[in-house]
């Protein structure tokens, strides 16, 4: 499917973390930097993203904190090192927002709720949700984008999943190739 919009510096990119930037751990959480593994072509994709989008943010549910199997300090260390690697590769992420609340709690920040997007809008008033894209790998990521009127891209190897998102991509580099 061809894009019916053109990306420029007035657009914002929202990225999920686990399954989009880094490898998900089966039935587990990334609890330390040693467990963090960038997905193939992610750093290359992030290097190009900054050339197209005015604002790039990560929005990530991190219930490992709520389950007390990791701390917010563990998460901040992971994110600090992730940002260092992204910057060393020539990429850019402007901010990372996370929600530590448990699935099933009435949480305004846990995707698909829009709390993290509202925090981003507070910090970056230029964000226009109608000129934003959400790239994620789960139904809650896509619903988050839909709830805000964003374009949605699903990271998947299953092209039949297109019914649940506007577009499907295999990774961040594939995403960039589609929006160029």
Provide the H-helix boundaries in 105-171: 115-123, 139-147
Q: Are strands 132-136 and 151-155 parallel, antiparallel or unpaired?
A: parallel
Provide the H-helix boundaries in the chain: 42-49, 63-66, 72-88, 115-123, 139-147, 172-179
The catalytic residue among 4, 18, 103, 166 is 18
Number of CB atoms found within 10 A of residue 104's CB: 8
Cβ contact 115:109 at 8 Å: yes
For residue 16, indicate whether it is catalytic. yes
pLDDT value of residue 69: 97
C-alpha pair distances (Å), 125 with each of 55, 93, 129, 143: 10, 16, 11, 22
pLDDT value of residue 4: 86
Question: In the chain, which stretches have pLDDT less than 50?
Answer: none
In the 3-class helix/strand/coil scheme, how is 37-50 assigned residue by residue? CECCCHHHHHHHHC
- pTM for the whole structure: 0.95
pLDDT value of residue 1: 58
pLDDT value of residue 165: 83
The catalytic residue among 4, 8, 16, 166 is 16
CA atoms within 13 A on the CB side of 82: 27
- Spell out the domains of the chain, with CATH numbers in brackets: 12-179 (3.40.50.1000)
For residue 166, indicate whether it is catalytic. no
């Amino acid at each position: 499917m061809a894009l019916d919009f053109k990306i420029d510096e007035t657009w914002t990119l929202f990225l999920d973390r686990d399954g989009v930037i880094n490898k998900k751990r089966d039935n587990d959480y990334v609890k330390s930097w040693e467990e963090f593994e960038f997905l193939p072509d992610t750093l290359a994709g992030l290097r190009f993203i900054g050339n197209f989008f005015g604002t790039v943010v990560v929005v990530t549910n991190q219930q490992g904190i709520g389950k007390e199997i990791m701390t917010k300090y563990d998460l901040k260390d992971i994110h600090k090192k992730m940002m260092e690697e992204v910057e060393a590769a020539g990429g850019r992420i402007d901010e990372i927002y996370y929600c530590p609340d448990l699935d099933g709690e009435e949480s305004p920040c846990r995707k698909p709720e829009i709390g993290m997007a509202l925090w981003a809008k507070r910090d970056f008033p230029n964000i226009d949700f109608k000129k934003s894209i959400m790239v994620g790998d789960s139904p809650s990521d896509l619903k988050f984008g839909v709830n805000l009127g964003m374009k949605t891209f699903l990271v998947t190897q299953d092209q039949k999943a297109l019914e649940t998102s506007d577009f499907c991509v295999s990774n961040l580099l594939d995403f960039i190739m589609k929006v160029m």
